[in-house]
Amino acid sequence: MALMVSTRLWLGGVVARKRDKHLILGLVQIIRQCALARPLLICVDGFTAYVQTIGQVFRSPLPTGKRGRPWLIAWPDIHIGQVVKHYQGRHVVGVTRRMAQGRLQVAQALLAKSHGGTRLNTAFIERLNATFRSRLAVLVRRSRALLRNPQTLEPLVYLMGCVYNFCSEHKSLRLKLWVGNYGYRWVRRTPAMASGLTDHCWSVKDLLLFRVPPPAWQPPKHRGRRPQAENMLMARWCS
């Protein structure tokens, strides 16, 4: 799963039977769809597929005006921080923090700007994992409600992710609202409110009854010459 630290917004997740490069590729593509061409810090664990996949996905085509596939230019301001935990049995005995790509000074500035701590960490996504485990019984390590098909788990994960974004108030996102001489009160916000996606906290009923508009219809593309009847219809329409 992926999380935007500054607003605590859950960006999405992918589900598979094993953790491999294809799983990481699907997750990085979700981040790429949400990202802008500006300095970006991505904190991951020690899995080696992250660095290669991020460099593969965060590229943009360079138009040259010539035929053929354009060159893909890597984004210059992508910084990757790795947090590797060393275990002895089930206990963490040490943590190694390193920059797999980019500069440490820029990473520290991005951490301070996003209120993500003072050192490279993956604490926020680990807390989000704990939130999902507490809300979905199938994600508990020892449970009788096991799933045998990953396609069954993906809709449940996205349902809980939408409830987390739109219906769950996050304590770290609340703001102070001063009320004249009477002091202040806390304005509670959800990750969707902090991101500007909505202006109020949704209920689960509102979320389930929300109707997503269908995509705009596009006529199919025709190859070759058009039929004679369609050409006559186009001529009459143009006239």
CA 25 → CA 20, 60, 68, 82, 89, distances in Å?
9, 16, 25, 17, 30
Under a CB-based contact definition with an 8 Å cutoff, are residues 41 and 107 in contact?
yes
Rg (CA), the chain: 23
Give the CB-side neighbour count of residue 54, counting CA atoms within 13 A: 23
Instruction: List the chain pLDDT tens, one digit each, 239 residues.
Output: 999 999 999 999 999 888 899 999 999 999 999 998 889 999 999 888 999 999 999 999 888 888 888 888 989 899 999 999 998 888 889 999 999 999 999 999 999 999 888 899 999 999 999 999 888 888 877 777 677 777 888 999 999 999 999 999 999 999 888 877 778 888 999 999 999 999 999 999 999 999 888 888 888 777 766 666 555 555 555 55
Give this prediction's pTM: 0.82
d(CA 77, CA 41): 8
Whether 116 and 6 have beta carbons less than 8 Å apart is answered as yes
Closest CA to 53 of 101, 15, 97: 101
Which residues 6+ apart lie within 8 Å of 106 measured at CB?
A: 39, 41, 77, 79
